[in-house]
Structure 1
């Protein structure tokens, strides 16, 4: 459903940290900021932060965080016309509007550990070797990939309550799989039969 249609039916966006999820007999509630919101059904799609909310719903999932690192090289603008991967280094160099972005690697480090400078320095050194004309990296940051042990996402109803629907754990393919995941979630909310067998993606598969 388009955003305009959601607003036309009375929907609205609320931005903030979701916490204190509670599943009741008639509704599901979650607190965002100082306000508690109630709904007939709730979708947990909080990426790497989904494990905490799922636990509050009564489900223990083996979700971990693959931390990926990014370094931007403004002088590298125009050096490449498409993403290029150097597999021996474990990262991609991708042309962006503001320069060349070198990003990748995998680090299992959770959500709280600080950025590991050894990772970004490795990327910087590799770019200096592979593409000296890219110059020096001016900014760096770290992102979180929500990943499961078997590399499959968690999609489906909570075993504890059909009021809660899980949609997380896509690892490196969150944007790629967003469309089909949204369709499956829509089917579950509307009590339609999904177009895929969701048994392999259940939250309690381990």
Structure 2
């Protein structure tokens, strides 16, 4: 399910969306949180910090030193009417995945801890392309290539819970490769935190201040 379909489903249930880049997160007196964007300023009673790989700097502004790093994943796609495989496969010795898509074949993999600002590493793309051509020598030229950012933490667990210093900021990021997969259950947990419901879940392993 693509992001647009997820968003459409949320809107059908009463949600609304506005997209702005948050540059500053500032706790105010009375427990409110001020979000400063280029276009506007929002004062909120509660904020959910779920900015994926971009969460680290905002978490610091909230008083939490979360050692989030960016695990960069590389992708290339080949246009084709009929894919040579019917399901995702991983040639273990080559270390990447090949996935059939509608009208295209996607090749993705490798791990690179490189932050958000470094330029793409052309050698990573070359490794993927050489590898997939070993499997399918008759592939034509690659149609697209891109770099994606995965928010990853040293213990491979996400950060979920209220901030220690600012309890009106609820953290929900750091799911690594499984952001979309775990979005549903994470959103239910976040809703229960905002509503102060006790759902009997032990979230201590995910607390934002676990890194000291």
TM-score by length of 1: 0.93
Q: Which residue of 2 aligns with 1:20?
A: 24
Is 1:124 the counterpart of 2:129 in the alignment? Answer: yes
Once residues 75 and 133 of structure 1 are traced to their aligned partners in structure 2, the CA distance between those partners, rounded to angstroms, is 11
Equivalences for 1:106-145 in 2 at 5 Å?
Answer: 106-145=111-150
Change (3 A) 1:4 1:138: closer
Secondary structure of the residue aligned to 2:94 is coil
Q: Which residue of 2 aligns with 1:203?
A: 208
Q: Which residue of 1 aligns with 2:34?
A: 29
Contact 1:148/1:169, CA 8 A, preserved across alignment: yes
Once residues 91 and 195 of structure 1 are traced to their aligned partners in structure 2, the CA distance between those partners, rounded to angstroms, is 38
In structure 2, runs of 5+ residues without a counterpart are 1-8
Is 1:187 the counterpart of 2:187 in the alignment? Answer: no
Runs in 1 of length 4+ with deviation above 6 angstroms?
none
Contact 1:73/1:101, CA 8 A, preserved across alignment: yes
Once residues 51 and 174 of structure 1 are traced to their aligned partners in structure 2, the CA distance between those partners, rounded to angstroms, is 16
TM-score by length of 2: 0.90
Tell me the alpha carbon deviations over residues 2-31 of structure 1, each in whole angstroms, 9 at most, x when there is no partner: 424435xxxx32112111111113311112
Once residues 108 and 10 of structure 2 are traced to their aligned partners in structure 1, the CA distance between those partners, rounded to angstroms, is 32
Once residues 155 and 55 of structure 1 are traced to their aligned partners in structure 2, the CA distance between those partners, rounded to angstroms, is 15
Equivalences for 1:63-82 in 2 at 5 Å?
Answer: 63-75=68-80, 77-82=82-87
In structure 1, runs of 5+ residues without a counterpart are none
